[in-house]
Amino acid sequence: MHGLAILTSLLAVPPLDLSVPEPMAERRPHVRQLHGDRFEDDYFWLRDRKDPAVRRFLEACNAHADAVMAPTRELQEQLYRENLARIRETDVSVPVFDRGYYYYTRTEKGKPYPIHCRKKGGLGAKEVLLLDLNQLARGKRFVDADYTVSPNGRILAYTLDTVGSRDYELFFKDLSSGRTLPDRFGKVTGVVWAADNRTVFYTTEDAAKRSYRLYRRRLGSARPTLLFEEKDPLYNLFLSEDRDHRFAYAISESMETTECRILDLHAPNQAPKLLQRRREGVEYYPTRFGDRFLIRTNDGVREFRLVVAPVRYPDRRHWKTVLQPRAGETIEGVDAFRRHWVVRIRRDAVATLRVVDVRSWSSHTVAFPEPYYSASLAGNPMFDARRLRMAYQSAITPATVYDYDPETRRLKLLKRQAVNGYDPTRYEVRLLWAKARDGERVPIALAFRRGAQIPAPTLLEAYGAYGIPSDPYFRSSAVSLLDRGWVLASALVRGGGELGERWHDAGKMASKQNTFRDLVDCARFLQREGWTSPQLLAVTGGSAGGLTVGAALNANPELFRSALVYVPFVDVVNTMLDETLPLTTGEFIEWGNPKIPEQYRWIRAYSPYDNVAPKDYPALLVRTGWNDTNVPYWEAAKWVARLRALRTDRSKPLLLKVDFSTGHGGSSGRYDALRDEAFDQAFLLATVGEGSLRVP
């Protein structure tokens, strides 16, 4: 490949200040003995957020990180300005029509949060403000909200979290007067309106943040009615509804089994009806289609099939198969409309949309312009829709909204995310296949600027858990790296869902080591093929992806120059032993239960915190949130403390950044998020490569 075509300046990246002393956590003896294994956990005390020494250590880590990065402040500011200049600060989404109103979201320059609005009847009508998150965020550093409107359009129900801990409260607002109603419920995880406009069904969570109870409540009433409680700690309870608002579904779901109860939204006082009793390993997900249920299930087909059953007799005895996956395919989801079904089918890492005409039973796959992309339905509330609203993006194509006509098979562009100064034709995406050590083919997605020199500085991302696919997405801030000659890579390792259910199965429980080995083998592949080198390779991952990165760093730190890790799940044994923590019990069938000797040995062999050893590690920046309930802050803090105590090469930075105002998702305001991104990019530029960067 040739050099970049357009270069206007070279800016040296100043060296980081490694003379700043690292905060070293106090060692307090704590021994874990389990199944004959003895582990000295000197930093167990960092779990106690009430201990003032914990806060002092974390604040010292923040001050240390800022001091080490101080020489890059000018670079951080430049990166922030670049990233800010690319976004359209004042913008509006494509309106969605639903039951007489056009709903949309807009942003205003200088305001960090979106504003949710609607107009009645037509886009020329007067705007009505639904929720202004900027107002809700006054005096707070974090805000997250979601909403749903009553069927008659008069009452807004919205959930609100202002600390980042996923503690959502449910509020109600009279849209005619703007008055907030006195009804207010806590620890809510889902809400659906009944057709009478006064009754709501909602789910709540327990002390371990497991969604487990289903309630019915009429606004203004003193007490709710408990309709169902999921008592099995392996299960969470989720609430959804049909597109035509006839039925709601309370689905008890473990990692591999479901059970559904049906709520008639037109008869809210009726008790929920069980559709099909749970059977271990069987999942099923219904949606109403006329006088039948359309059900996606893995009953008899590991990669799922579609069946139909009469609404009056929906149990398994009346299921009739209407679609099975072909070899190599997985049916990931289905949406039912009056005239069409839209089936999401994954094959070779790409999820396509197959449209089935229910009148002729003919089908076709929607044709998109790139070979590797993400596409899904978005903004389709109307069951009678003739055109289908679709969302599309890739690593180099900004988020795009289309209307699709199933009859003509044409996509109509409605809106593409505005990215100032960005030309997607200057960039390229490739999907490569690396050969893992056991012979399995592992996909790697690459994005880079055409003409970039190789070997190139490369940021390799990985996740690999829960069967969740790491589909491509566009980030305007990533252009700052692409335009400096970086390659952005994603290793689609086992444990994720990129190659279907088998891919998940091959990267969990006793097979979990495949996930980490795949990341290592993908790194070696990129180096062997000349895309990058150990001196030019950074690795990144968040949450369960932080586990993937942490295990790979323990196994083969020499392959990586730098690592950027977010809210990492790295203290696996201790977390999975503590059933009071969110997620623990439900994930026994993802990682294993360490109280069982054999499963303990699986986890103990890869847990990043337990396996830190005296060796050279790459430069490392770790981010976490004080209010994180998914992966508590202490996992990152303990990991960094142990790495500082044991690593042998202290010539590379080891930084911990703790945000005391957020949780698992990081900064909620867009300007704060861009500041964080600039800090992280400056870290990468300062720790990878030859100390200079190219600016187009």
Determine whether 55 is exposed, middle or buried from the number of CB atoms within 10 Å of its CB (0-12, 13-18, 19+): middle
Supply the pLDDT for residue 389: 97
Beta-carbon count within 10 A of 396 CB: 25
Q: Say how many Å lie between the first and final Cα of the chain, rounded.
A: 17
- Of 265, 264, 342, the closest CA to residue 275 belongs to 264
Output the CA torsion sign for 655, 661, 665, 666: negative
pLDDT digits (tens, 9 = 90+) for 359-384: 999 999 999 989 999 999 999 999 99
pLDDT digits (tens, 9 = 90+) for 223-240: 999 999 999 999 999 999
**In three state form, how does the secondary structure of 59-103 look?**
HHHHHHHHHHHHHHHHHHHHHHHHHHHHECCCEECCCEEECCEEE
Report how far residue 334's alpha carbon sits from residue 356's, in angstroms, rounded to the nearest whole number: 10
- Specify whether the CB–CB gap between 445 and 648 falls below 8 A: no
Report how far residue 395's alpha carbon sits from residue 424's, in angstroms, rounded to the nearest whole number: 10
Supply the pLDDT for residue 182: 94
What are the catalytic residues?
543, 628, 664
pLDDT digits (tens, 9 = 90+) for 86-135: 999 999 999 999 999 999 999 999 999 999 999 999 999 999 999 999 99
Supply the pLDDT for residue 11: 57
- Of 496, 470, 474, 479, the closest CA to residue 392 belongs to 474
Supply the pLDDT for residue 12: 75
Supply the pLDDT for residue 600: 98
pLDDT digits (tens, 9 = 90+) for 129-176: 999 999 999 999 899 999 999 999 999 999 999 999 999 999 999 999
pLDDT digits (tens, 9 = 90+) for 634-655: 999 999 999 999 999 999 999 9
Q: Which residues sit opposite 417 in a β-bridge?
A: none
> How confident is the prediction for the chain on average, in pLDDT?
95
Topology adopted by domain 9-85+421-695: Rossmann fold (3.40.50)
Supply the pLDDT for residue 3: 33
Query: For the chain, what are the domain ranges?
Result: 9-85+421-695
Q: Please state the rounded mean pLDDT for residues 433-448.
A: 98
pTM given for the model: 0.95
Supply the pLDDT for residue 222: 82
In DSSP notation, 461-528 reads: EE---TT--------GGGHHHHTTT-EEEEE--BTBSTT-HHHHHTTSGGGTHHHHHHHHHHHHHHHH
- Of 132, 134, 203, 207, the closest CA to residue 165 belongs to 207
Residue with the two structure tokens 């190139």: 456
Q: Please state the rounded mean pLDDT for residues 197-214.
A: 97
The letter for the amino acid at 478 is: A
Structure tokens given for 273 = 């009806």
- Specify whether the CB–CB gap between 544 and 569 falls below 8 A: yes
Q: Please state the rounded mean pLDDT for residues 490-510.
A: 98
Q: Please state the rounded mean pLDDT for residues 244-253.
A: 96
Output the CA torsion sign for 552, 553, 557, 563: positive
Integer-rounded Cα Rg, in Å, for the chain is 26
Q: Helices then strands (H, E): number in the chain?
A: 11, 41
For residue 365, give the 3-state DSSP assignment. strand
Q: Please state the rounded mean pLDDT for residues 328-352.
A: 97
Supply the pLDDT for residue 669: 92
Q: At what angle do helices 513-528 and 597-606 cross, to 10 degrees?
A: 30
Structure tokens given for 254 = 């473990």
Report how far residue 450's alpha carbon sits from residue 481's, in angstroms, rounded to the nearest whole number: 13
Q: What whole-number percentage of the chain has pLDDT above 90?
A: 95
Q: With 50 as the cut, is the pLDDT of residue 568 above it?
A: yes
pLDDT band with cut points at 50, 70 and 90 for residue 1? very low
Q: With 80 as the cut, is the pLDDT of residue 2 above it?
A: no
pLDDT digits (tens, 9 = 90+) for 5-38: 333 344 579 999 999 999 999 999 999 999 999 9
Supply the pLDDT for residue 693: 33
The letter for the amino acid at 46 is: L
Greatest extent of the chain over all pairs of C-alpha atoms, in Å: 73
Q: With 60 as the cut, is the pLDDT of residue 695 above it?
A: no
pLDDT digits (tens, 9 = 90+) for 578-604: 999 998 999 999 999 999 999 999 999
Structure tokens given for 270 = 């009726």
**Ramachandran category for residue 557: left, alpha or beta (phi over 0 → left; psi -120 to 50 → alpha):** alpha
Element (H, E) at 416: strand 410-416
